[in-house]
Homo-oligomer: A and B are copies of this chain.
Amino acid sequence: MSVQEIHADLGGFNMIGRLLISCEDRPGIVAAVSRFLADEGANIIHSDQHSTDPVGGLFFMRIEFQLHGIEDHINELRTRFEQTAASFHMKWRMSCASEKKKIAIFVSKEDHCLQDLLQRFRLGELSADISMVVSNHDDMREIVKPYGIPYHHVPATKDTREEAAERHLSLLEEANVDTVVLARYMQIIPPVMIEQYQNQIINIHHSFLPAFVGGKPYNQAYDRGVKIIGATAHYVTEELDQGPIIEQDVERVSHRYQIKDLKRIGRDVEKLVLSRAVGWHLDDKVLVYENKTVVFP
Protein backbone atom coordinates (compact mmCIF):
# COMPACT_ATOMS: atom_id res chain seq x y z
CA MET A 1 0.00 0.00 0.00
CA SER A 2 1.55 3.31 -1.00
CA VAL A 3 1.77 6.41 1.15
CA GLN A 4 -0.74 8.05 -1.16
CA GLU A 5 -3.30 5.30 -0.70
CA ILE A 6 -2.93 5.34 3.05
CA HIS A 7 -3.47 9.08 3.14
CA ALA A 8 -6.58 8.82 0.98
CA ASP A 9 -8.01 6.66 3.75
CA LEU A 10 -7.34 9.23 6.41
CA GLY A 11 -9.75 11.91 5.30
CA GLY A 12 -10.12 14.84 7.65
CA PHE A 13 -8.94 17.42 5.14
CA ASN A 14 -12.18 17.69 3.21
CA MET A 15 -13.89 21.07 3.09
CA ILE A 16 -10.95 22.75 4.83
CA GLY A 17 -9.47 25.88 3.30
CA ARG A 18 -6.47 27.94 4.33
CA LEU A 19 -5.84 31.61 3.76
CA LEU A 20 -2.46 33.23 4.36
CA ILE A 21 -2.08 36.98 4.30
CA SER A 22 0.65 39.52 4.79
CA CYS A 23 0.35 43.28 4.38
CA GLU A 24 0.94 46.56 6.15
CA ASP A 25 -0.98 46.72 9.39
CA ARG A 26 -4.01 49.03 9.57
CA PRO A 27 -7.47 48.86 11.16
CA GLY A 28 -10.16 46.72 9.58
CA ILE A 29 -8.18 43.86 8.04
CA VAL A 30 -9.58 41.13 10.28
CA ALA A 31 -13.09 42.52 9.90
CA ALA A 32 -12.86 42.59 6.11
CA VAL A 33 -11.43 39.09 5.84
CA SER A 34 -13.79 37.51 8.34
CA ARG A 35 -16.75 39.30 6.75
CA PHE A 36 -15.71 37.89 3.37
CA LEU A 37 -15.52 34.37 4.81
CA ALA A 38 -18.81 34.69 6.68
CA ASP A 39 -20.54 35.92 3.53
CA GLU A 40 -19.22 32.86 1.72
CA GLY A 41 -20.71 30.63 4.42
CA ALA A 42 -17.33 29.56 5.77
CA ASN A 43 -16.70 28.77 9.44
CA ILE A 44 -13.33 29.91 10.84
CA ILE A 45 -11.71 26.98 12.68
CA HIS A 46 -8.32 28.41 13.50
CA SER A 47 -7.03 31.92 13.18
CA ASP A 48 -3.63 33.28 14.02
CA GLN A 49 -2.27 36.73 13.46
CA HIS A 50 0.83 38.69 14.24
CA SER A 51 1.81 42.34 13.97
CA THR A 52 5.43 43.38 14.13
CA ASP A 53 4.15 46.72 15.37
CA PRO A 54 0.54 47.91 15.63
CA VAL A 55 1.57 51.29 14.24
CA GLY A 56 3.11 51.04 10.77
CA GLY A 57 4.23 47.45 11.21
CA LEU A 58 3.63 44.34 9.17
CA PHE A 59 0.54 42.21 9.61
CA PHE A 60 0.46 38.43 9.14
CA MET A 61 -2.55 36.18 9.30
CA ARG A 62 -3.41 32.53 8.79
CA ILE A 63 -6.99 31.39 8.79
CA GLU A 64 -8.19 27.81 8.58
CA PHE A 65 -11.84 27.59 7.63
CA GLN A 66 -14.45 25.01 6.79
CA LEU A 67 -16.51 25.49 3.63
CA HIS A 68 -18.65 22.90 1.89
CA GLY A 69 -17.62 22.30 -1.69
CA ILE A 70 -14.42 24.37 -1.45
CA GLU A 71 -12.54 21.70 -3.45
CA ASP A 72 -14.75 22.38 -6.49
CA HIS A 73 -14.92 26.16 -6.18
CA ILE A 74 -11.53 27.29 -4.89
CA ASN A 75 -10.76 29.24 -8.04
CA GLU A 76 -14.00 31.21 -7.91
CA LEU A 77 -13.37 31.83 -4.24
CA ARG A 78 -9.91 33.16 -5.05
CA THR A 79 -11.35 35.47 -7.68
CA ARG A 80 -13.97 36.81 -5.31
CA PHE A 81 -11.33 37.44 -2.64
CA GLU A 82 -9.21 39.58 -4.95
CA GLN A 83 -11.14 42.75 -4.26
CA THR A 84 -10.73 42.47 -0.48
CA ALA A 85 -7.05 41.64 -0.93
CA ALA A 86 -6.46 44.59 -3.23
CA SER A 87 -7.99 47.11 -0.87
CA PHE A 88 -5.32 46.24 1.74
CA HIS A 89 -2.49 45.59 -0.75
CA MET A 90 -2.22 42.05 0.56
CA LYS A 91 0.20 39.34 -0.45
CA TRP A 92 -1.93 36.25 -0.01
CA ARG A 93 -2.51 32.66 -0.95
CA MET A 94 -5.50 30.38 -0.52
CA SER A 95 -5.42 26.59 -0.62
CA CYS A 96 -7.46 23.49 0.06
CA ALA A 97 -6.10 21.27 2.82
CA SER A 98 -6.98 18.26 0.67
CA GLU A 99 -4.69 19.47 -2.15
CA LYS A 100 -1.54 17.95 -0.82
CA LYS A 101 1.83 19.48 -1.61
CA LYS A 102 4.14 17.39 -3.76
CA ILE A 103 7.54 17.01 -2.19
CA ALA A 104 10.92 15.68 -3.19
CA ILE A 105 13.30 14.42 -0.54
CA PHE A 106 17.01 14.83 -1.24
CA VAL A 107 19.40 12.63 0.69
CA SER A 108 23.08 11.63 0.67
CA LYS A 109 24.54 8.80 2.74
CA GLU A 110 22.94 9.31 6.17
CA ASP A 111 19.44 7.89 6.24
CA HIS A 112 18.03 8.78 9.67
CA CYS A 113 16.10 11.88 8.51
CA LEU A 114 14.81 10.09 5.41
CA GLN A 115 13.62 7.10 7.43
CA ASP A 116 11.99 9.34 9.97
CA LEU A 117 10.12 11.32 7.30
CA LEU A 118 8.97 8.18 5.51
CA GLN A 119 7.57 6.71 8.70
CA ARG A 120 5.78 9.92 9.61
CA PHE A 121 4.18 9.98 6.17
CA ARG A 122 3.14 6.35 6.60
CA LEU A 123 1.60 7.13 9.99
CA GLY A 124 -0.27 10.09 8.52
CA GLU A 125 1.64 12.59 10.69
CA LEU A 126 2.70 14.60 7.63
CA SER A 127 0.27 15.45 4.88
CA ALA A 128 1.93 15.48 1.43
CA ASP A 129 2.54 13.38 -1.63
CA ILE A 130 6.16 12.28 -1.80
CA SER A 131 6.87 12.50 -5.50
CA MET A 132 10.40 11.21 -5.36
CA VAL A 133 13.55 10.62 -3.40
CA VAL A 134 16.69 12.01 -5.03
CA SER A 135 20.19 11.07 -3.98
CA ASN A 136 23.77 11.50 -5.16
CA HIS A 137 24.26 7.87 -4.11
CA ASP A 138 22.40 4.66 -4.81
CA ASP A 139 22.51 3.50 -1.16
CA MET A 140 18.96 4.40 -0.13
CA ARG A 141 17.16 2.64 -2.96
CA GLU A 142 16.21 -0.39 -0.86
CA ILE A 143 14.93 1.72 2.01
CA VAL A 144 12.61 3.67 -0.27
CA LYS A 145 11.38 0.67 -2.27
CA PRO A 146 8.67 -0.61 0.12
CA TYR A 147 7.04 2.83 0.08
CA GLY A 148 6.51 2.70 -3.71
CA ILE A 149 8.17 6.10 -4.21
CA PRO A 150 10.34 6.75 -7.30
CA TYR A 151 14.06 6.87 -6.50
CA HIS A 152 16.44 8.89 -8.65
CA HIS A 153 20.17 8.45 -8.38
CA VAL A 154 21.78 11.65 -9.70
CA PRO A 155 25.57 11.61 -9.14
CA ALA A 156 26.88 15.04 -8.13
CA THR A 157 30.60 15.60 -8.14
CA LYS A 158 32.41 18.88 -8.67
CA ASP A 159 32.61 18.21 -12.39
CA THR A 160 29.02 17.09 -12.89
CA ARG A 161 27.41 19.74 -10.70
CA GLU A 162 25.84 21.59 -13.60
CA GLU A 163 24.44 18.48 -15.26
CA ALA A 164 23.10 17.34 -11.89
CA ALA A 165 21.33 20.65 -11.39
CA GLU A 166 19.71 20.40 -14.78
CA ARG A 167 18.61 16.84 -14.11
CA HIS A 168 17.21 17.83 -10.71
CA LEU A 169 15.21 20.69 -12.15
CA SER A 170 13.75 18.62 -14.94
CA LEU A 171 12.78 15.85 -12.49
CA LEU A 172 11.11 18.36 -10.17
CA GLU A 173 9.30 20.08 -13.01
CA GLU A 174 8.04 16.87 -14.57
CA ALA A 175 6.50 15.83 -11.29
CA ASN A 176 5.19 19.32 -10.41
CA VAL A 177 7.08 19.27 -7.13
CA ASP A 178 6.24 22.15 -4.75
CA THR A 179 8.67 21.55 -1.94
CA VAL A 180 12.18 20.15 -1.66
CA VAL A 181 13.35 18.68 1.66
CA LEU A 182 17.11 18.35 2.10
CA ALA A 183 17.22 15.45 4.54
CA ARG A 184 20.96 15.62 5.22
CA TYR A 185 21.78 16.17 1.52
CA MET A 186 25.35 17.31 1.86
CA GLN A 187 25.66 19.12 -1.47
CA ILE A 188 25.51 22.80 -2.45
CA ILE A 189 22.18 23.76 -4.06
CA PRO A 190 22.81 25.90 -7.19
CA PRO A 191 21.35 29.45 -7.34
CA VAL A 192 19.05 28.59 -10.26
CA MET A 193 17.21 26.03 -8.15
CA ILE A 194 17.08 28.27 -5.07
CA GLU A 195 15.55 31.04 -7.16
CA GLN A 196 12.94 28.74 -8.63
CA TYR A 197 11.98 27.26 -5.27
CA GLN A 198 12.16 30.33 -3.06
CA ASN A 199 11.12 29.50 0.50
CA GLN A 200 10.24 26.01 -0.75
CA ILE A 201 13.56 24.27 -0.01
CA ILE A 202 13.94 23.17 3.60
CA ASN A 203 17.35 22.16 4.90
CA ILE A 204 18.32 20.57 8.22
CA HIS A 205 21.60 21.94 9.52
CA HIS A 206 23.18 19.90 12.27
CA SER A 207 23.98 22.77 14.62
CA PHE A 208 22.26 25.46 16.58
CA LEU A 209 22.61 28.24 14.00
CA PRO A 210 24.18 30.77 13.78
CA ALA A 211 26.76 28.77 15.73
CA PHE A 212 28.86 26.38 13.65
CA VAL A 213 28.00 27.35 10.11
CA GLY A 214 29.33 25.08 7.36
CA GLY A 215 30.73 21.57 7.39
CA LYS A 216 31.44 19.33 10.39
CA PRO A 217 29.47 21.27 13.01
CA TYR A 218 29.72 18.45 15.56
CA ASN A 219 33.49 18.60 15.33
CA GLN A 220 33.32 22.35 15.82
CA ALA A 221 30.99 21.90 18.80
CA TYR A 222 33.36 19.34 20.33
CA ASP A 223 36.34 21.62 19.88
CA ARG A 224 34.55 24.60 21.44
CA GLY A 225 33.41 22.49 24.41
CA VAL A 226 29.75 23.53 24.32
CA LYS A 227 27.39 22.00 26.87
CA ILE A 228 24.37 21.89 24.54
CA ILE A 229 24.14 20.89 20.88
CA GLY A 230 21.32 21.59 18.48
CA ALA A 231 19.84 21.42 15.02
CA THR A 232 18.22 24.04 12.80
CA ALA A 233 15.69 23.69 10.00
CA HIS A 234 15.72 26.65 7.62
CA TYR A 235 14.74 27.70 4.13
CA VAL A 236 17.69 27.62 1.76
CA THR A 237 18.97 30.93 0.44
CA GLU A 238 22.08 31.68 -1.56
CA GLU A 239 24.18 32.40 1.51
CA LEU A 240 25.16 29.09 3.13
CA ASP A 241 23.23 28.36 6.36
CA GLN A 242 21.90 31.92 6.47
CA GLY A 243 18.28 31.37 5.38
CA PRO A 244 15.17 32.02 7.48
CA ILE A 245 15.05 29.71 10.50
CA ILE A 246 11.86 27.65 10.80
CA GLU A 247 12.66 25.56 13.87
CA GLN A 248 15.48 24.73 16.26
CA ASP A 249 15.95 22.38 19.15
CA VAL A 250 18.76 21.30 21.44
CA GLU A 251 20.04 18.50 23.62
CA ARG A 252 22.33 18.64 26.63
CA VAL A 253 25.80 17.08 26.37
CA SER A 254 28.84 16.90 28.64
CA HIS A 255 32.59 16.43 28.61
CA ARG A 256 31.98 12.67 28.41
CA TYR A 257 30.61 12.93 24.88
CA GLN A 258 33.03 12.17 22.07
CA ILE A 259 32.31 13.45 18.55
CA LYS A 260 30.60 10.16 17.71
CA ASP A 261 28.27 10.65 20.70
CA LEU A 262 27.42 14.18 19.57
CA LYS A 263 26.54 12.75 16.16
CA ARG A 264 24.38 10.04 17.73
CA ILE A 265 22.53 12.47 20.02
CA GLY A 266 22.35 14.95 17.18
CA ARG A 267 20.55 12.51 14.90
CA ASP A 268 17.55 12.48 17.24
CA VAL A 269 17.43 16.27 17.39
CA GLU A 270 17.81 16.60 13.61
CA LYS A 271 14.92 14.23 12.97
CA LEU A 272 12.58 16.02 15.34
CA VAL A 273 13.46 19.51 14.12
CA LEU A 274 13.22 18.63 10.43
CA SER A 275 9.91 16.81 10.79
CA ARG A 276 8.36 19.71 12.72
CA ALA A 277 9.53 22.24 10.13
CA VAL A 278 8.31 20.10 7.22
CA GLY A 279 4.95 19.55 8.92
CA TRP A 280 4.40 23.28 9.47
CA HIS A 281 5.44 24.05 5.91
CA LEU A 282 3.07 21.43 4.50
CA ASP A 283 0.20 22.84 6.56
CA ASP A 284 0.92 26.38 5.31
CA LYS A 285 1.86 27.52 8.78
CA VAL A 286 5.07 29.37 7.89
CA LEU A 287 5.33 32.92 6.55
CA VAL A 288 8.66 34.49 5.62
CA TYR A 289 9.69 38.14 5.86
CA GLU A 290 13.05 39.89 6.22
CA ASN A 291 14.90 36.56 6.38
CA LYS A 292 12.84 35.44 9.39
CA THR A 293 9.80 33.26 9.78
CA VAL A 294 6.44 33.70 11.41
CA VAL A 295 5.31 30.21 12.44
CA PHE A 296 1.70 29.64 13.51
CA PRO A 297 2.01 26.13 14.95
Contacts and interface: CB of A to CB of B under 8 A. Distances in A.
B26 A30 contact: no
24 contacts: A25-B43, A27-B42, A27-B43, A27-B44, A28-B38, A28-B43, A31-B35, A31-B37, A31-B38, A34-B34, A34-B35, A47-B49, A54-B66, A112-B123, A123-B264, A208-B211, A208-B228, A210-B226, A211-B211, A225-B291, A225-B292, A226-B245, A228-B249, A254-B295
A115 B119 CA distance: 9
B224 A255 contact: no
A224 B210 contact: yes
Contact of A34 (B30, B247, B264): B30
Contact of A225 (B26, B28, B225, B244): B244
Contacts of A29: 44
Interface in A103-125: 112, 115, 119, 123, 125
B225 A250 contact: no
Given A112-B123, A228-B250, 7 more contacts: A30-B34, A45-B51, A46-B50, A211-B211, A226-B248, A227-B248, A227-B295
Given A27-B38, A27-B43, A245 B272 contact: no
Interface in A200-258: 208-212, 224-228, 230, 244-250, 254-256
A190 interface: no
